[in-house]
A and B are shown apart, each in its own frame.
Chain A
Amino acid sequence: MSGAAAAAATQPVLAITSLRIALPQGADRALAVDGATLAVRPGQTLCIVGESGSGKSMIANAVMGLLPRPHVEPTAGAIVFEGRDLLTLTEPQLRELRGRRIGMVFQEPMTALNPVMRIGEQIGEVFDAHLDLPATEKRKRIVAALADVGLPEPELLIDSYPFRLSGGQRQRVMIACALALEPALLICDEPTTALDVTTQAQILALIRELQRRRGTAVLFITHDFGVVSEIADQVVVMQTGRVVEAGPARQVLEAPQHAYTRKLIAAIPDGSAHRDAPGDDDPTRVLQVQDLCKTYRSGNGLFKRGRVVQAAKDISFELKRGETLGLVGESGSGKSSVGRCLVGLAPFDSGRILFKGRHQAQGAAFRQQAAGKIQMVFQDPYASLNPRHRVGAAIAGGPIAQGVPRADATARALELLQLVGLGADAASRYPHEFSGGQRQRIAIARALAMQPELLVADEPVSALDVSVQAQVLDLFAQVREQFRLAMVFITHDLRVAAQMCDRIAVMQRGVVVEYGQTAQVLADPQHAYTRQLIAAVPRLASAVARDGAPIAAQATA
C-alpha cells in the first residue's frame, strides 16, 4: 500500500461531484451523465450498476481522460483524485497519472492485448512509461506481477504471445498490467462480462484478494447485480445518466429504495426451477438424438496431422412437443456445436438425429428434409439480421422461399411483429434502428414465421442487459406455450437454464456429464463439474454471507 493512501485512509481516493458530461447534438439525450456524485475510498469497491446506455462507462472514461473530446465533453462538476481535479489537468499530467496512480481493466480481454507483442513486453510498457528500470530488474518485476495474478509458470508466460492464453488468463494479464505500479485506484469496466461463469467467479475472487492485500480502491462497472453482490462495498445505480440510488451494498441489495433498482434486481434469474413439467401426454417425440458425435479437425495440411477437438461425444436425448431442454456448459464445452448439428448447419461424424421420427440426412439434405420446421435463434442480435433488409422482408423471406404467397407471408410477418411486441410499423424499418433486445425479438419473429416445431436457441440472451434479458426470456416462454414448441436452449448461465428448461444437460468437453430434471440437477448435482458451475453463479445472498477466506488463485482460468 502506498504511503499516501495509508495516510488518507478515511479520505476518498476518488471523489466525483455533480459531474455532467454532454453528448453531441443529435444523440438520444443531451447529457450522457447528469449530476453524478460518488466517492471511492481506499480498500473499498464501488460498483456502478446500470444497463447499457446508462452512462456508467462514460464516468470511467472521464476519470481516465479517455472521453472522445470535443464531441463528448464534461461540462460541469469535478473529479478529484488525490486532491487534484482531473478535469483541469493537461494531457501530459494525465498521462503521468495513468498507469502509475490509476489502472484500468477493459471489458473485452480478447482484444485488449496486442496480438503481436509478447505478454512480458506489454506489461513492460507500463514500467517503461513511468520508471527507468534496468532490464533484469524489469523482468523480475514482470514475473512477480504475473505470479501475483495467479498465472501459472510466469517465467514461461512472459515470452509467449496472447493467442496462447484463454480469455480468463488474458484478463489476468490485463489486471497485472493495471496493477503493475500499485495504483491507488483500479477502474474495472465490465471486466467479467465476456467471461464464463466459472472464470468470472475466479476473476472476481482475484480482484477482491488483490484489493485486500494492497488496499487499492476499485471502481467497478457492471450491469449484473449478481456480480455486484459478489464484490461491492458501495453501490451506485445509474439510469439514463442519473444516479438513482446509492449506498452500501447490503442496504441497496436488501432494501432497494428506487423502483428502477428493484426492477433490475427482480430481473435477475434467481436460479430456482420455475417450470412444472408439461402435463401433456403427447407421445410423439419431436426430436431424438442418438449417440451424436462431432469432431473438429484444424490445421490439417498436406504434411501434418491437424489438431482434433471432440466437440460432442455420444450425445443422446429426446424432446417432446412443448418441452425444453437446456444445454449448459462453459465456452468450448461443445454445446453450440451440438446446436448447430441439430439444425443442420454443421455435419456430424456419427450418430442419428430423428426429427418427428424421421432420420435426418446430412448437410443441405438435412435442411431440405426439415423444410424450415427446425429454426434457430442466434446469440448475437447484431449479426443475425441482414443490415440491408427491412425487418418485414427479413421475416417474410423464409416463408416465401418455402412457397407461401408473398401477400400471406407479409401479413403473417406483421402479425408476428405484433406478437413479439414491436408493432406492425417496425416492418418497414432497417435492423440498425433497433436495440439489441428488439433485434432479438425480430429474430424470434423470423424463426416463428416458419411455423417451426423445434426451436434451437443458442445463447439468445447472453448479449443482452439483465432487464432486457428477462423480457426476452418471458417472450420465449410465451411463444413456447402458444405454439407448443419443442426447444433446445443453449446457455452458459445456469440461472437462465433453471428458469427456462424442463430438463438440463450439463456439458463439459463434448460430453454430457449430467442430465436430468431441472429441479433435480440444481438441488442435487451428482457431478463435480455441475457443482462447480452452480457454485460459480453469482447470488444476491453471497453479499450478505460473504466470508473473508482468501481464495487460492486458480491456474485454470
Chain B
Amino acid sequence: MKSFWLRFGRNKGAVAGLAVLMLVTLVALVGPWLAPNDPWGMVQQPFLRPWTEPGFAMGTDTLGRDILSGVIYGARVSLLIGAVSTVAALLIGVTIGALAGYFGGWVDSGLMRFTEIFQAVPSFALAIVLVAIFQPSVDSIVAAIAIVSWPPVARLVRGEFLTLRQRDFVQAALLAGESTPRIILTQILPNAMSPIIVMASLMVATAILLESSLSFLGLGDPNQMSWGYMVGSARTVLRQAWWMALFPGLAIVLTVLALNLVGEGLNDGLNTRLNGRTR
C-alpha cells in the first residue's frame, strides 16, 4: 500500500488530477450549502455578464438564473451519474467477462457474441434510444450509460481471466477442491483488479461526457441541473452570451481531465511487477 502511494505520487499529473477530483467531490457533497442561489430560480436580469454584479461571478443565463449555482449543483449530478453508471457497468461487464474467460468454450463464444451485439451498435445512438424510450430521468440515464459501456469491461476481464486461469495457482486451487465461485472470486479476481480499477476511473470520465451529451441534446433529467444541460441551453445564444457555455464546459473539461490523470496514476501505481511474478 505504501509503495502504491509512492509510485502514484511520482506521477505529478495524477496528483494534480486527484486534487481537482477531491475539490469537485467536495463541491458535490456540500453544494447546496455553498451555492448562493437556487439554480432554477430567476434571481437577476437575464444575460448578466460575469463579474458585473457582486455574487454573480459567472453571470446569469437567458432566464436570469445564476450560472455559478448551476455549476455547483451540476457537479452533484455529473459525479453521481458517472459513479453509479460505472459501478453498474462494472457489475455487468465483470460478471460476463469472468464467466466467459473462466469457462471458455461455448460459454465464452455465446457471451462474447452477445457482447458484440452491443459493440456493433453505436453506443451513443443506443444511449439516446434507451433514454428516449424510458423517459429522461437520473435512473434511466444511469441505466442507459451502464448498458452502453460494459462491453469493453467484459472484454478486458475475459482476457485477464483467460491468462490467469491457466496459472499454476489456479490449478492448485482446483486440486484442493475449491469451488468454482471461490476460485473466481478469491483466486483470479484479485489478480485482475488493477486493470479493472484503471479502466473504471476512465469510465467515470466517459460516463460524465455521455451524460453531458445527452443533456445537451435535451435528454437530461428535467429536474436536475447538470453541466451538459447548461451547455445545451447556451447553444442558441452562444454568440451573445459566451459565459453560459464556457463555465459549465470548463467544469466538464477539468473533471474529465482529472479523472483521466488519476486513471493514469492508478495505472502506474497498480501495474507494477508486484502484480505477478516478482522477485
Given contacts A387-B191, A432-B278, A401 and B179 within 8 Å (CB-CB)? yes
Provide the A338-351 mask, 1 if CB < 8 A to any CB of B, else 0.
00000111000000
Q: Are A401 and B190 in contact (CB under 8 A)?
A: no
Shortest distance between the CB of A494 and any CB in chain B (Å): 24
Taking CB atoms and an 8 Å cut-off, the chain A residues in 442-478 that contact chain B are 443, 446-447, 450
Residues of A within 8 A of B276 (CB): 387
Please tell me which one of the listed residues A379, A435, A446 contacts residue B172 in the complex, with CB atoms under 8 A apart: A446
Q: Cα distance A387–B277 when bound, in Å?
A: 8
Q: Are A401 and B169 in contact (CB under 8 A)?
A: no
Shortest distance between the CB of B269 and any CB in chain A (Å): 16
Q: Are B191 and A388 in contact (CB under 8 A)?
A: yes
Provide the B132-170 mask, 1 if CB < 8 A to any CB of A, else 0.
000000000000000000000000000000000001110
Q: Cα distance A386–B179 when bound, in Å?
A: 16
Please tell me which one of the listed residues B177, B187, B274 contacts residue A386 in the complex, with CB atoms under 8 A apart: B187
Q: Are A398 and B168 in contact (CB under 8 A)?
A: no
Q: Are A402 and B176 in contact (CB under 8 A)?
A: yes
Q: Cα distance A388–B186 when bound, in Å?
A: 9
Given contacts A380-B168, A384-B169, A386-B191, A397 and B176 within 8 Å (CB-CB)? yes
B175, CB-defined interface residue at 8 Å: yes
Q: Cα distance A265–B97 when bound, in Å?
A: 51
Shortest distance between the CB of A399 and any CB in chain B (Å): 8
Nearest residue (CB) in A for B187 is: A386
Please tell me which one of the listed residues B169, B186, B190, B274 contacts residue A385 in the complex, with CB atoms under 8 A apart: B169
Shortest distance between the CB of A449 and any CB in chain B (Å): 8
Nearest residue (CB) in B for A436 is: B279
Nearest residue (CB) in A for B275 is: A387
Q: Are B168 and A378 in contact (CB under 8 A)?
A: yes
B235, CB-defined interface residue at 8 Å: no
Provide the B183-196 mask, 1 if CB < 8 A to any CB of A, else 0.
00011001100000
Q: Are A345 and B176 in contact (CB under 8 A)?
A: no
Taking CB atoms and an 8 Å cut-off, the chain A residues in 385-438 that contact chain B are 385-389, 394, 397-399, 401-402, 432, 435
Q: Are A383 and B177 in contact (CB under 8 A)?
A: no
Q: Cα distance A447–B151 when bound, in Å?
A: 39
Provide the A356-378 mask, 1 if CB < 8 A to any CB of B, else 0.
00000000000110011011101
Q: Cα distance A387–B172 when bound, in Å?
A: 13
Q: Are B177 and A398 in contact (CB under 8 A)?
A: yes
A161, CB-defined interface residue at 8 Å: no
Q: Are B177 and A371 in contact (CB under 8 A)?
A: yes
Please tell me which one of the listed residues B177, B187, B191, B274 contacts residue A402 in the complex, with CB atoms under 8 A apart: B177
Q: Are A397 and B173 in contact (CB under 8 A)?
A: yes
B174, CB-defined interface residue at 8 Å: yes
Given contacts A380-B168, A383-B168, A386-B169, A375 and B278 within 8 Å (CB-CB)? no
Please tell me which one of the listed residues B167, B172, B186, B277 contacts residue A376 in the complex, with CB atoms under 8 A apart: B172
Given contacts A345-B171, A384-B168, A384-B169, A398 and B191 within 8 Å (CB-CB)? no
Q: Cα distance A446–B167 when bound, in Å?
A: 16
Q: Are B274 and A432 in contact (CB under 8 A)?
A: yes
Shortest distance between the CB of A149 and any CB in chain B (Å): 32
Q: Are A378 and B279 in contact (CB under 8 A)?
A: no
Q: Cα distance A374–B176 when bound, in Å?
A: 9
The 5 A-B pairs of least Cβ separation, nearest first, read A398-B176, A384-B168, A378-B168, A382-B277, A388-B190
Show 14 A/B contacts (Cβ-Cβ < 8 Å), sorted by A: A344-B175, A367-B174, A368-B177, A372-B175, A376-B171, A378-B168, A378-B171, A378-B172, A382-B279, A383-B168, A384-B167, A387-B191, A397-B186, A401-B177
Q: Using a CB–CB distance below 8 Å, which chain A residues touch chain B?
A: 343-345, 367-368, 371-372, 374-376, 378-380, 382-389, 394, 397-399, 401-402, 432, 435, 443, 446-447, 450
New contact pairs (9) apart from A384-B169, A387-B275, A398-B175, CB-CB < 8 Å = A372-B175, A375-B175, A378-B172, A383-B169, A384-B172, A397-B178, A401-B173, A446-B176, A447-B172
